[in-house]
Amino acid sequence: MNSHEIDFEIFGNDLQCVEIELDPNETVIAEAGSMMMMNQSIEMNTILGDGSKQDESVLGKIFSAGKRVLTGESLFMTTYTQRGSSKAKVTFAAPYPGKIIPMHLLEFGGKIICQKEAFLCAAKGVSVGIEFQQKLGVGFFGGEGFIMQKLEGNGLAFLHAGGTVVKRSLTHGEALNVDTGCLVALSSSVNYDIKLQKGIKNSLFGGEGLFITTLQGPGDVWIQSMPFSRLADRIYANMPRTGGKRTGEGSILGRIGGLLDGDN
């Protein structure tokens, strides 16, 4: 199925949103709960799967949608179709601080592999599926497990990642070592593997864990500076521990601030 041709504009710096302009009868698909606002003439529908196969049976839709559950996503996706006679706009918001990455899949051979929960929205016709990692080391220690998402088709898709996103284009045989949680996406031609950190001190005290991701070209890779799991860990580490009151920053100034706020 050929994907619908959509226009878009991205707003914001750290908490971004993407505004998509739809012509009459054009449709965009998105994860449930990502819509920020839309014109009144746009019709919203909840569907099983991604709607990329129009002649797919009900059983086939259930099977395709069920595979998405393995990546931690919902069985259902939402479509937004312009039913009016002129152009209309729908806007989707990023779920946490970071960047929205637009990708025209044709520029990357019609397929992109990405981390779980990275997909935000796409033109109708883009297939959102799963990609199994065939190497045991990648599955157990790669940070994303055995299952990642894959986007296939010839249209626009939008990913979201934490912090700042850096794209690197690797030549044939060129390798790049990446923290296991910082990998966002890669083109299908890139070889993805996991290796043990060199040296006992590096492994135990380097702060990067026992394993590191190795990416080898040719192809493109996208790296995020702040994985959501790392952000969540930092927030959890600074949550109040006793009686719902803050603990400060571990310094005398933090304790003085607590006294000024009325915390005993």
pLDDT computed for residue 260 by the predictor? 43
Who has greater pLDDT, 71 or 34?
34
**Token couple for 99:** 């960047």
Residue 59: pLDDT band with limits 50, 70, 90: low
Domain that holds residue 75: 7-226
262 belongs to a structural domain: no
> 21 forms bridges with which residues in the sheet?
7, 89
State yes or no: pLDDT of 157 exceeds 80: yes
24 belongs to a structural domain: yes
249 belongs to a structural domain: no
Whole-angstrom distance, CA of residue 171 vs CA of residue 173: 6
Who has greater pLDDT, 144 or 226?
226
- Read off the pLDDT of residues 216-261 as tens digits, 9 standing for 90 and up: 999 999 999 998 877 777 788 888 765 555 555 444 445 444 544 4
72 belongs to a structural domain: yes
Nearest to 122 by CA among 74, 50, 68: 50
State yes or no: pLDDT of 107 exceeds 50: yes
- Read off the pLDDT of residues 179-222 as tens digits, 9 standing for 90 and up: 888 999 999 999 988 777 665 555 455 455 567 888 999 999 99
Residue 50: pLDDT band with limits 50, 70, 90: low
State yes or no: pLDDT of 103 exceeds 90: yes
Whole-angstrom distance, CA of residue 262 vs CA of residue 243: 14
- Read off the pLDDT of residues 72-98 as tens digits, 9 standing for 90 and up: 566 688 999 999 999 999 999 998 899
Q: What is the DSSP string of 169-215?
A: EEPTT-EEEE-TTTEEEEETTSEEEEEEPSSHHHHHHSSS-SEEEEE
234 belongs to a structural domain: no
252 belongs to a structural domain: no
Whole-angstrom distance, CA of residue 26 vs CA of residue 183: 32
pTM, to two decimals: 0.78
What does the mean pLDDT of the chain come to? Answer: 80
21 belongs to a structural domain: yes
Nearest to 23 by CA among 80, 73, 62: 80
236 belongs to a structural domain: no
> 185 forms bridges with which residues in the sheet?
114, 222
- Percentage of the chain beyond pLDDT 70 is 70
pLDDT computed for residue 251 by the predictor? 47
The total of structural domains in the chain comes to 1
CATH number (domain holding residue 124): 3.60.160.10
Q: Residue 98: is it exposed, middle or buried by C-beta count within 10 angstroms (0-12/13-18/19+)? A: buried
